Structure 1
Amino acid sequence: MKKKIMRRSLSAVAAGLMGALLVACGSASEPAEVSEITDSAQETPLAEQPADDSLEEDVKAIVDRGVIKVGVKNAVMGFGYEDPLTGEYTGLEIELAKALADKLGVDVEFTAVTAATRTELLDSGDIDCVLATFTITDERKESWDFTTPYYTDYVSVLVEDSKGIKTLDDLADATVGVSSGSTSAKALVKAMIEKGLISGDGFDEESFDPATWTDGIKFQQYDDYPTISTALSAGEVDAFCVDKSILAIYKTEGRSYIDAEFSPQNYGIATTKGSGLSKVAEELVSESFENGTIDKLISENGLD
């Protein structure tokens, strides 16, 4: 897995974040092999770290290490996106990850994750938390902690205009591309059942499996979003279903959203269940709402 350590330096957006947090910020970069970079901006002194005896064990381990390892997306404009030319990371979740690092007085190390890999990397300890358009569900909350949602999105469907698919009704018997490990396929089936387009016989939210569902619609699962987009262009699938903010980057000329948005998707920071970092992450999100930082980042990243 490619990684890069981000050193603390002052940036315009991060400076706004620090009003209620601690001072010092990281500059973003691509998750290539582990290395260090130093921004040309003036370094700022670290805020005094809390005494060791006030830290929970997992948080102390991060502070002692000097780096927090965060799983992020690298191809989702506005949330976590890596510029292919500069290797710089930008987005709402990137800035929140840097703010979390600053709150702890450590550097941040980004690891690119997908819907299929983010939880296994969190469970294995390869990363400390996930900030990667991770939808909060009751089922997932049984395995991981989530913060208060910092963003709410909706699921939609992207199609090639040449297909003539304009509504949910037109998706009958279509093959839809979805990301492995995501909840998009289940959300689409549920929306079609609620509209009476498919019977829903045998549908169970807890046991739903896109690989075996064939009632009125079929799914093809892929490891990442660019691959689904390619499959859509090649005609391997008839439609591409995921959160609309993710679809936005793939809405090129000759493609359109169908006339439907459904299944609100609340994104939160995911951490190991019962960990001390869960409390720190929740504090960060709460403070960022109170001081207006999250609203500012949503606007600056074109997510409003």
Structure 2
Amino acid sequence: MPPRTRIAAIALAAAAALTLAACSGGTGSSSSSGSDGYVTKGKLTIATSQPAYAPWVEDNKPQSGKGFEAAVAYAVADKLGFSKSDVVWVRDDFDKSIAPGPKDFDLNLQQFSITDERKKAVDFSSPYYTTSQVVITTATSKAADATSLADLKDDLIGAMTGTTSYSDAVADIAPTQQVQVFNSNDDAVTALKAGQVDAIVVDLPTGFYVTSAELDDGKITGQLPAVKGDTGDQFGIVLPKDSALTKKVSAAVDALRADGTLASLEKKWLNSQGNAPILK
């Protein structure tokens, strides 16, 4: 995703909070520190990225409820007792969202992988999606005919810095050349198009989107294998550290999993894993 500035995110979040205060006559807080855990009384403030891409958010319009994460957000809101009109969307930078400090959102969905390190700074809900990492390349790349991890070892692999994609590329492929790091998946895709890397590693839904919409000759080489019972990369909703809402949000996610809603939304908005064989 293209770089998103800290200043723009803060300004937009602040503008949203001020607008809500003016409309409701309330006094919105700049962080989720109220006794009820909400930034703005009577509203559920949800953050996502700027821009937000399909299949997570369609047409960069989370308020439409179209796209997997937008749909999940509204399903969780419903479980918490909020109508669609009571959901307020703000935009926030990925790294800033999971850094220590006060937040201008109640919930944040940006494909955040749940990790112990991140839990030191923020809370996570139960996972709403579990994915794997995939290798994608182009028809003209030297990696185009790879069918195994061994076939990729001498190729130049790229991934977004600070992501599970990067760490899995290093651990699973163990290439002979250092994995190239990029500030965003968009930068990695650009490098792949230019032939600066032979293949890149992204999460599975992003892989399907990139190969179908951004690369004329893109192809998914395959999934990286799960390690020692690992069921995949788990995405969780981010909340401010020690939020009063964390248990409620986790309960909502668990209920959506139990009643089949998450599976239904995944089927609707995300591609099947059947087209990505596991690399061995």
Q: TM-score, normalised by structure 2?
A: 0.70
Question: Is the contact between residue 38 and residue 44 of structure 2 (CA under 8 Å) also seen in structure 1?
Answer: no
Indicate the residue corresponding to 2:91 in structure 1.
111
1:1-304 equivalences in 2 (<5 Å): 1=8, 34=16, 57=34, 59-64=36-41, 66-72=43-49, 74-83=51-60, 90-102=66-78, 103=80, 105=82, 106-111=86-91, 113-114=93-94, 116-120=95-99, 123-165=101-143, 166=146, 167-193=148-174, 216-251=176-211, 252-263=215-226, 264-304=232-272
Distance 1:300 1:142, change over 3 A: same
Distance 1:87 1:239, change over 3 A: farther
Distance 1:107 1:240, change over 3 A: same
CA distance in 1: counterparts of 2:65 and 2:171, whole angstroms: 35
Q: TM-score, normalised by structure 1?
A: 0.65
* Superposed displacement of residue 260, structure 1: 3.7
Give structure 1 regions of 4+ aligned residues with deviation exceeding 6 angstroms.
none
Distance 1:112 1:249, change over 3 A: farther
Share of identical aligned residues, percent? Answer: 23
* Superposed displacement of residue 230, structure 1: 1.4
Distance 1:74 1:288, change over 3 A: farther
CA distance in 2: counterparts of 1:66 and 1:81, whole angstroms: 23
Question: Is the contact between residue 74 and residue 82 of structure 1 (CA under 8 Å) also seen in structure 2?
Answer: no
* Superposed displacement of residue 108, structure 1: 1.9
CA distance in 2: counterparts of 1:35 and 1:59, whole angstroms: 17
CA distance in 2: counterparts of 1:257 and 1:97, whole angstroms: 29
Moved more, 170-179 or 248-257: 170-179
How many residues are paired up? 237
Structure 2: state its 5+ residue gaps: 1-7, 19-32, 227-231, 273-280
* Superposed displacement of residue 158, structure 1: 0.7
CA distance in 2: counterparts of 1:99 and 1:4, whole angstroms: 27
CA distance in 2: counterparts of 1:2 and 1:143, whole angstroms: 19
More helix by share: 2
Question: Is the contact between residue 178 and residue 184 of structure 1 (CA under 8 Å) also seen in structure 2?
Answer: yes
CA distance in 2: counterparts of 1:296 and 1:268, whole angstroms: 18
Partner secondary structure for residue 245 of structure 2:
helix
CA distance in 1: counterparts of 2:136 and 2:17, whole angstroms: 38
Which whole-Å deviations, capped at 9, do the CAs of 1:243-300 have from their partners, x for residues lacking one? Answer: 1111111103322222443341111112223211212211210221233221221121
